[in-house]
Structure 1
């Protein structure tokens, strides 16, 4: 009898915890756990995630990780090769390259963060409005988008920086002005596939306004694709910022921006390879990491990849 009761109880417990979420918070936790498992299944994605997390930690604890002051010049130790005292060597002013790279990670994250904050909402808003309303609204928005897309991003950024003037903030504005069109195109394509969906028609019949439909129903459905695209765009943002810094139009000396470091060290690169190799390797690793992380996020957030 006791065995029968225990078996019945076990069956009831198993039926209760059959994996079906009992609340929205439980469903969210299950989705996050499932996404984390899928994200860590790919070793390349894990490698990209490790590098990105390392960049975040490097920027957060830069004053404690850096071995020297990145701005202090020591003309008695100029162009020293990598060694025990200066891990990545010194530049033409005797500044420690490792410390400048560590503090330069803050500049890189600053650029990425501001560009993402500006580009994401603008591209998403333009895309969903254009795709939902169609007609002349779609024509006007997409023709403006086509104008921006028709020029290479770096060339257009150079034009904007030339008009605004050199400087880190002007470079961020220029990059943001050239990076939103692909986001808008993607959001428009997603909206075109959603605007005639059953749930959209249902809320329209209930009298919901266009603004409510866009903000509460369509835009959230486009967020996953936009997040993936923004992550993969970060590599292009880093390269564009480094290119502007290399040309002297981005961050100005003595700010330790990686592109500007390559520009100042190119005069000595034949004899002192570490001046361009170290910041170049940092740019390559971080750009590749964001691409790998974007691929992994696409596998997690795209329901068609199931």
Structure 2
């Protein structure tokens, strides 16, 4: 009887080591790879750093602010930047730097709320139109076309005029005007996937349309939607600043950046700091989202990587 040769110890070591490598969650590895890719590209790295500073400033606003952003000091009105007031004071003697720091919270709130509203609405409308087709597609896309036929700022102005000027109504108005591009993109992505073999197999197994859309189509649309959402945030910030500038967004004394520019424009010839620093903040955050969106497109779109 022939004896079976024992397996080398290296096989045993390999066999025991293999499961350990598989314990690392794939999502974490993907996120780490994506972050490393973005940090290797100077433009997207700049965007990440600026957005990290925005989040950190918003969280630590009470610590970073040197003065109460709402306290008026009529004895120190329109002072230029100095050691006591880094960005000067406004027409009511309030510290511009402290108001700018606390204003980052309002900007971050707008970004967060608009994102959690626009993303699901755009995905739901676009995937439903692309998957079902027919009359559902016609109705949903005609509604989308109506929203797209108006400039976002003009449509936001109409909604705010109907709802009333306030920060909450401005956020609702921006969200109602920002979902159509997401819906169009999600529909286009769905049309490329709905006749795939794995979708047909799911139908044959008796999966409901809602389950197919949620489990099979939405994950395939997420990379493109994420890129579009990131790029749209620059428009969202500019729209919010525009509404605040026109007095239809955040109301005084809230330190919203657009409202700060609106107040300071009357003194900008002699007190340049009133509009310069809020304007630079809006520019930096908008540019950061654009650069980060470009980096995400290069990282998540294989066609862009192939072109490079």
Q: Measure how far apart 1:205 and its partner are.
A: 1.1
Distance in 2 (alpha carbons) for counterparts of 1:201 and 1:148: 33
Aligned to 1:62: 61
Normalized against structure 1, the TM-score is what?
Answer: 0.93
Aligned to 2:106: 107
Q: Measure how far apart 1:33 and its partner are.
A: 2.8
> Could you give the per-residue CA deviations for residues 111-164 of structure 1, whole angstroms, max 9, x where no partner exists?
111111111100000000000000110000000000000100000001111111
Aligned to 2:294: 295
Distance in 2 (alpha carbons) for counterparts of 1:218 and 1:245: 38
Determine helix, strand or coil for the equivalent of 1:85.
Answer: coil
Normalized against structure 2, the TM-score is what?
Answer: 0.92
* Residues 1:226 and 2:213 are matched in the alignment: no
Distance in 2 (alpha carbons) for counterparts of 1:18 and 1:303: 29
Aligned to 1:214: 213
* Residues 1:261 and 2:260 are matched in the alignment: yes
Aligned to 1:117: 116
Aligned to 1:73: 72
Q: Measure how far apart 1:18 and its partner are.
A: 8.8
Cα distance change of structure 1 residues 113 and 26 upon mapping to structure 2, 3 Å threshold: closer
Aligned to 1:127: 126
Q: For the aligned residues, what is the CA RMSD?
A: 1.9
Distance in 1 (alpha carbons) for counterparts of 2:255 and 2:123: 33
Aligned to 1:286: 285
* Residues 1:164 and 2:151 are matched in the alignment: no
Aligned to 1:237: 236
Aligned to 1:5: none
> Could you give the per-residue CA deviations for residues 1-45 of structure 1, whole angstroms, max 9, x where no partner exists?
xxxxxxx7668867987999635x443333233222212120111
Determine helix, strand or coil for the equivalent of 1:256.
Answer: coil
Q: Where in structure 1 are there 5+ consecutive unaligned residues?
A: 1-7
Distance in 2 (alpha carbons) for counterparts of 1:31 and 1:110: 27
Distance in 1 (alpha carbons) for counterparts of 2:171 and 2:229: 15
Aligned to 1:138: 137
